[in-house]
Structure 1
Amino acid sequence: MAKNYDDLARDIIAHVGGEDNVLSLGHCITRLRFYLKDESKADTDYLAEREGIVTVVQAGGQYQVVIGNHVNEVYEAILANSRIKGTAGGAEDGESEEEPQPKGNLLDRFIALMSGLFQPILAVLAGAGVLKGLAALLVISGVSNTSGLYMVVQAAGDGFFQFLPMALALTAARKFKSSEFIALAVAGAMLYPSLVNPTDAEPLMVLFKGTLFESEIYMTFLGIPMILQSYYSTVVPVIFAVWFAGKVEKLAKKIIPDVIKLALVPAFTLLIAVPVSVMLIGPISSWAASIVGGAIGNIIDYNTTIAYTIVGGLWQILVMFGLHWGLVPIMYNNYATQGFDTVLVGSFGASFAQIGVLLAVILKTKESKVKQIGWPAFVTGIFGITEPSIYGVTLPMKTPFIISCVAAALSGTLGGFLKLVSYTSGGLGVFKYPTFLDPEGINTMNVWNGVLVSVFAFVLGFVMMMFVKVPRLYGKKAVENEKKATSDSVPAAVQSDDLTSPLTGEVKALADVPDPVFSTGAMGPGAAVEPTVGKVLAPADATVSLVFPTKHAIGLVTDSGAELLIHIGMDTVNLEGKYFTAHVDKDQKVKRGDSLIDFDIEAIKKAGYSVTTPIIVTNAAEYLEIQTTTSSSVTPEDLLLTLTK
């Protein structure tokens, strides 16, 4: 007898904010995809724990409720119990519609974008941060900063941070569904040494001389003055540039004949996108930084403590947008005229506030993945490298990031009250302490004031966060103790089920799949394959339990009882069946090696989608152990998974 999903459907509608909060609803092979007017009205915690729901994912402007293999039944029940109109990928009309954009709350959409772009690179970011800290420790221990040992370790750590725009260009291109390599070329142009440090010669001219927007011009483009800016280690500029390049690329594909598209689309895109991005982003970044610098400078003249408070509270946001550069000239001018700085020193407590908040999150959260990201981020944060903490944990959670800004602002207030100053530039985190030493030995309490400010920021951030509920980052609460698959008694017999690979290609861990529903194991364990041949074959004798209407996913129940989900690509439901051909129907019996689905790898990639294919065991609780092959590549003749009962 078919299960009734009406109660679940009504419950989901109520807890996504009601019918009136739903702009549209679609679904793919495992999840309901809501576009909501206001995501804050949805009760994510309730839905993530509700029986019948695997987890909740908020990404790319979508509110995704992961159901599992019976998503189609729940979807139909929602339509039957509401006035919500469906736009599922399996709609029979086959019309392709633009994804509706959620209204309002630009801040939430910006945070979701930033978090999504940083998620794939967090592990490397944290690892590189550890190496930067190690390089600083080498110098403190007496190793020369010109030695080969220091230079190699520093390059291994700092190289990724220096060229962070390259990594963000890659993830941004995936997000905006544009060419990854064109995006890398745009980022490479923005980091090109001659455009960052053009010359030591005298400037050709000075624009807006004597004003806040005074800009030295060292080169022109077709007679137009270029205001050059350094984009090393920046975040927002390259994201804008890649977004713009994606728009130009789409235009180029429409107007350039097919016979010459291969070379001319990239050439046309770069010729337009690079000059426009450099010439727009440069002035905007430079002038915005000048405004920030001028405002803070005026506040310092009025009241140093207020300036310290503002710089401390806004520092992490200023760095995110590259606006902190407006304060750097003031800092160096202070060193030259008065021998110490009273500008950037106001931001000193920000990194300590950040890791204080982060530690509280790590200790309170039940999500194992947050802990996995959090601990390495905490270590790098001690050395002042807070990007893994900000982009991996606190900014996506929002509340912890706000608390860290408040704690940093109050630590700035304390720094201003204590008249904290720095006598040299350089150093982050705990390595900032030496800059507080007065070379003349007069201000002996200054370094202890610096220690007090950092401890205050850390403790305040930690305590404030301990009194606040930790938001869930991945939706479903992590279980501390795994359920045992069997009773304590030894089973009478051990049964194994060997599954061959349904694809030819490179084997990947599920954790490397760019979708948290798969990478976190929410749908179950398994493996992923980056296919090199566009054919899906049956991995065992089985019955087809589901063929999704858009043909991008298929469910199987093997003759030995294993329930499998093969999901071709990421977000390929949006292709609405284009480039996919199914050779089987639901309830059809298949033999190992039978052809299930053909798909066009190159066409899917050109459309902007990943073809990474997870193979998931959805009834994993029935097995004692699920082992993945140790081979790096497989063919349909090779073993991929071994399931042991």
Structure 2
Amino acid sequence: MKQDAFFQTIIHHIGGEGNVARKRFDGEHLYVTVKDSGMADLEELNRLDGVSGTELNRNILSVTIQEDFLEDVTMAKDFKQLAQNIMTLAGAKENVTSVFHCMTRLRMTVKDVKKVDRKAINDLDGVLGVTYQGGQLQVIIGKDLLKVYEEVLKLGYSDGGAVDEKLDGDLKGEKISVGQAVIGYISAAVQPMVPALIGGGMIKVFLLLISKVYAPFADSSTYTLLSIVGNAVFYFMPILVAYGAAKKLGATPTYSMVVAGALVAPEWTAIVSAGDPVTMFGINVALKGYGSSLLPALLLAIVAYYVEKFLNKVIPGVFKPIFVGTLTMAATYAVSILALAPLGQLAGTYVTAAILWLYNIAGPITVALFTALFPYMVMTGMHMTLGAPMIQLLSETGFDPLFRPGMLLSNMAEGGASLGIAIKAKDKAIKSEALSVAVGCIFASVTEPAIYGFNLPLKKPMWAVSLGGAIGGVVAALLGAHNYEYGSSSLFALPIFEDTIVAMVIAIIVTIVASCVLTILFGFDEEILKKH
């Protein structure tokens, strides 16, 4: 039985369609906002096939669907229609240049953002919110994201995958500031290597844990070989960054990757180790190691892009295969080894020093503020810009006392607030959904359903999230919690905190309890969720 068919079976007992202001299916419940509650005949409704119970709270009618009807009714959500509506309101193929996704958001680049009806998209059933950040139109869908994305692809849009490097299209409708362009460039360059960073970091963590349990394992060849894999992603980071940066710029990635590879080549490492003066074109070359560096690759990719672009204009077509690549790599390497790489490394060192200075001056306050503000960074998409400083901090110092602890605690705070909603709410459907969302925040680090589905609409739980996260941040900083690998922001990533894992566990418990209790104490209007 489809949702519309089920609704038609009850409509005559609630005063007809003229008495219906809004309807919404959610799990085992159908919520109907009626204009005149006196026209709803609960006794007749309870006699209908498929109805196991009803409840009328002011103008909100809740109809509980029988278990044997549940699958047919609730699984009938029209993802195809939702996908069609979203893409049509976004300007369809005439305006949408690419589509891709993360865990909870349908993302797309558009030619003209003014042609997008964001309000209409936001009002669609199944959409939790809409934001435009860094050249991306982001439609927040939540747990049904992949089902909607599949329907979008069936409409003829090409699959951009889970990660798209060209985050900022050529937008005619919205002017991009220099700051936005820089942030978009860095984010796009770093994003492709994040899965490898997480994988490499977790390999190192698992090796450490195994060697703690069985000490002889640390001396085995298996340990040594797997360590090479775990360390490779960090040592060869310039090559991975160069790939993402070149893809973002629209350049040939291999040119930038080769130059970045030359900065970490064994021959160059040997020259640096020897310490003997080296010149290029009569200019002294700074003897520095660039393994695990970030900024040199970001800078050299820009040079490679413009050199390649210039050469493609001036070199005749028949000679391009021979000279464009050759001259692009040679020129980019010369500029990089003489100037860009040393400057990039120096700038990275200053960035790291500034972060550590701020943490050392006011560690607990710094972590508390970052944790409290992180949910709002997620809402605006600004959290995507944190990858670069996180990676730089880890590569320079080997640990992170601010970013990952704060992000993890923020997720725990979202989960704690959702747990508080589940405890305090009276409606069974809200209790069940809030509990499910809380589990997603805590164990899977997926917070958008909590933010847009519960905490933000109710407002007061967002206060609890920020305050509870800040309390946890203070505890984490005072106990000295910090991670040694990149990892992720969920409970499963706790091993990355190694010898400070106990401190982080204590901070997590404090955060969840604080945000949960504060949500219960602050209270919330449950009717907002029913209407939402």
Using the size of structure 2 for normalisation, the TM-score is: 0.48
Whose helix fraction is larger, Structure 1's or Structure 2's?
2
Question: 1 or 2, which has the higher strand percentage?
Answer: 1
